[in-house]
Structure 1
Amino acid sequence: MADLFAPDPETAPPVDEASRPLADRLRPAALDEVIGQSQLLGPQGSLRRMIATGRLGSLILWGPPGTGKTTVARLLAAETGYRFEQISAIFSGVADLKKVFERARMERTGGTQTLLFVDEIHRFNRAQQDSFLPVMENGTVILVGATTENPSFELNAALLSRAQVLRFESLNKDDLQQLLARAEALLENPLPLDEGARESLITLADGDGRAILGLVEEVYAATPAGEVLDAAALQSLVQRRAPIYDKAQDGHYNLISALHKTIRGSDPDAALYYFARMLDAGEDPMFLARRLIRMAVEDIGMADPQALPQTVAARDAYHMLGSPEGELALAQAVVYLASAPKSNAVYTAYKAAMALAKTSGSPMPPMAILNAPTKLMAAEGYNEGYIYDHDTPEGFSGQEYFPEKIGRQRFYAPVERGHEREIKKRLDYFERIRTRNREAGEG
């Protein structure tokens, strides 16, 4: 049945080429024209090798926006002679998928293979993702899904096991320069930007090819003939793109990981950079405060016992001052932690003690250290033989506190850094007394 709302090709007005978005007008017509992704599309790239075999399997294209995922999917279909069909997980449900699968089955009976491109595939729920499995297994469709989120977290294991994940990278500076040159050639008009503004435009794009072409259109539309913009004028014209950062997904986890590792690695400058990036992207300062407190006890611990009070004080200062004044208190905590001596001895000791506690059952502590609040308990030997440490010359009795069934354990091993160096001296001193007392008892 004819589409009643489709324009009549005989009477429809011609499409005005100049009215199409620049990104659409510059869309590559062949894989050789794609900018970037050389790891996939270069002579030894994985996609090139697939095409050379003449057999294309299901794929998950994972990468930031504006890196060419949709374009590459279309061109793969053209290169392999497959019928291309595209849906978006945002606007499609189970009923839509059934229709798509049925069309693919009909086409296959006529000898035509369907490449089904699913944009934002991570938006489908688990049941919807499962619906792809039968048609992938029997060859009804070759699935090519695109996602900006980490497939390991967002896609079913069963779906991932049937598809190869290909990582798309953000466009680098040279890629974006090449894209600008193509735009200028198409429009036959150099960008009205000086060198500094051109560099600034590339920075604003943040590796997103579609975004930079949108900015180019803004620049052309708002700049009078003969005017050349510097970096400050460009910033004023296009305002500012918000950094690409989803607080619930990959960007969030990548940056907090970078912050934690730079603090652990004692690099205050890099730590401040990642801290500032997270704040600039809209991260909750209280999330950062909580993470800093965690870092204080995990990576510094007793090497600098002031690390924990510093981070707690920074959190309280932020509560009192709010934003932006309170952010300086958190920044101070970042620098303090990054420049502090490091030790994970308490963290390691706690994990070891917890592991033993989970597996040792419930052995009785030594009777000597159990109180005897009743005559019966005293008669049973509770508290018998307990030595009050303050009554000894060294203030340390050296008696055994572990259950006899377990025997003496060593969890905490202080390092030779910061305050833990002094703790180590003290514990070594206590161990010498313990050994002396044990040898005296044996003698």
Structure 2
Amino acid sequence: MADLFSSAGLDRAAVRPLADRLRPVRLADVVGQDHLVGPDGTITRMLRSGSLGSLIFWGPPGTGKTTVARLLAGETKLHFEQISAIFSGVADLKKVFEAARGRRLAGQGTLLFVDEIHRFNRAQQDGFLPVMEDGTIVLVGATTENPSFELNAALLSRAHVLVFKAHDEAAIGRLLERAETELGRPLPLDTEARGVLIRMADGDGRAAITLAEDVARAAGPGEVFDAATLQAVVQRRAPIYDKGQDGHYNLISALHKSVRGSDPDAALYYLARMVDAGEDPLFIARRVVRMAVEDIGLADPQALVVANAAKDAYDFLGSPEGELAIAQAVVYVATAPKSNAVYTAWKAARRAAEEGGSLVPPKHILNAPTKLMGREGYGAGYQYDHDQPDAFSGQDYFPEKLGRRSFYEPVERGFERDIRKRLDWWEKLRRERRGG
């Protein structure tokens, strides 16, 4: 019977995706993870010592987690078994474990690679513990999410977490060179377009090779793409960003810390990254309001007004016009004088209130709506501040059992510098009116 590929005039190898054809066959061929598989890498040292325990591979997509797991099985002569937590349930796990037990009795171990292991629930994750402990399997789990949050502590305690890094530009460049060798011709890109393609890959090696294959397929004889043509041909690859996961929290953290560090340029960059990735601008606006009260406070009271106005402006205008209002607020809070004095004071006051319990305020500041309460001393001795010199009586308002406390310590920046002068003046009057 004639080969269908030959009958159609096709090369059997050519129908395989380029990324599959370029898959490394040795650990030493893996690009961009020298800290793991290089001469002194963690995995290299494990293999050299002859001791391989269960592992968790944590890193972004396209960094070689599956490939390294498969090559590890080959290096250690273990049977390679692969499942995905997305498509597998308890019944599937039981079958895999039973097969692994059978192989173990026959003298062969099993390396079980579980892709997206964080998708298993807590009970399912606990199911791995017995077969890990008795040596039935060597577990290699892959996850794009932070294992500290997504995996059971019991599972983590039995596995070594290895971090896979996003490919840098040099690593992506090496992958493109391999693609050109496999294709037998240079990619039809000028220097600028090649750099754009590398950035489009966003650290994902598999995406880089796929983009290279798309470009090679789209180019006509002798055609060379510039940057603009490249983007029109392959379109723009969406940024790697999951609004419910690490990317979401990493970028909002970067935005907040850039504002706190008074760097408006970095703050605008991270704002643009989040908007570009499809983040809800109102979520960002709410965080800017928080920055105004947490990191600026009374050093510039106008910051809260500007942040709230930006939120209202976005509500009124929507995208894309309203995004400019958020950008304006971000620049304002980034360039405002910084103080966390109110934030710190609030935490200290909350702590004192929780620790002190239900302490009664001093009687002189309590109202006496009834004669009985008046006879009990409620309101006795209260001095109405507006009737006092400088509209300040200097009386003590803390519960007697708690004693006077100091929570708010304004900084010598912005408007809080003026507040500091007022507080110092009132403290001076307080001491004088209490007899020193």
Aligned partner of 2:288 in structure 1 is: 292
Aligned partner of 2:391 in structure 1 is: 395
Pick aligned residue for 1:118 from 114, 118, 133? 114
Aligned partner of 1:247 in structure 2 is: 243
Paired with 2:233 and 2:5, the residues of 1 have a C-alpha distance of 34
1:12 positional shift: 8.6
Aligned partner of 2:89 in structure 1 is: 93
Aligned partner of 2:417 in structure 1 is: 421
- Give a deviation string over 1:214-261, Cα, whole Å, max 9, x none: 111111111101110000000111111000000111101110110010
Question: What letter matches 1:57 in structure 2?
Answer: G
Paired with 2:215 and 2:358, the residues of 1 have a C-alpha distance of 73
Paired with 1:186 and 1:293, the residues of 2 have a C-alpha distance of 53
Identity of aligned residues (%): 69
Question: What letter matches 1:178 in structure 2?
Answer: R
Aligned partner of 1:105 in structure 2 is: 101
Matched, 1:357 2:350: no
Secondary structure at the counterpart of residue 145 of structure 1: strand
Paired with 1:361 and 1:210, the residues of 2 have a C-alpha distance of 59
Aligned partner of 2:38 in structure 1 is: 42
Q: TM-score, normalised by structure 2?
A: 0.97
Aligned partner of 1:144 in structure 2 is: 140
Paired with 1:342 and 1:138, the residues of 2 have a C-alpha distance of 56
CA RMSD, 1 decimal = 1.3
Aligned partner of 1:234 in structure 2 is: 230
Paired with 2:58 and 2:350, the residues of 1 have a C-alpha distance of 39
Paired with 1:13 and 1:141, the residues of 2 have a C-alpha distance of 39
Moved more, 122-131 or 413-422: 122-131
Paired with 1:13 and 1:314, the residues of 2 have a C-alpha distance of 61
Matched, 1:262 2:262: no
Pick aligned residue for 1:382 from 363, 374, 378? 378
Aligned partner of 1:271 in structure 2 is: 267
Matched, 1:173 2:169: yes
1:13 positional shift: 6.8
- Give a deviation string over 1:191-216, Cα, whole Å, max 9, x none: 01000100000010001011011111
Aligned partner of 1:4 in structure 2 is: none
Pick aligned residue for 2:23 from 20, 23, 27? 27
Secondary structure at the counterpart of residue 389 of structure 2: coil
The equivalences for 1:146-225 within 5 A come to 146-225=142-221
The number of aligned residues is: 432
Pick aligned residue for 1:58 from 23, 42, 54? 54
Secondary structure at the counterpart of residue 139 of structure 2: strand
1:55 positional shift: 1.6
Aligned partner of 1:75 in structure 2 is: 71
Paired with 2:347 and 2:279, the residues of 1 have a C-alpha distance of 30
Paired with 1:179 and 1:44, the residues of 2 have a C-alpha distance of 22
Q: TM-score, normalised by structure 1?
A: 0.96
1:11 positional shift: 8.3
* Structure 2: segments with no counterpart, 5+ residues: none
Aligned partner of 2:340 in structure 1 is: 344
1:122 positional shift: 0.8
Paired with 1:100 and 1:13, the residues of 2 have a C-alpha distance of 35
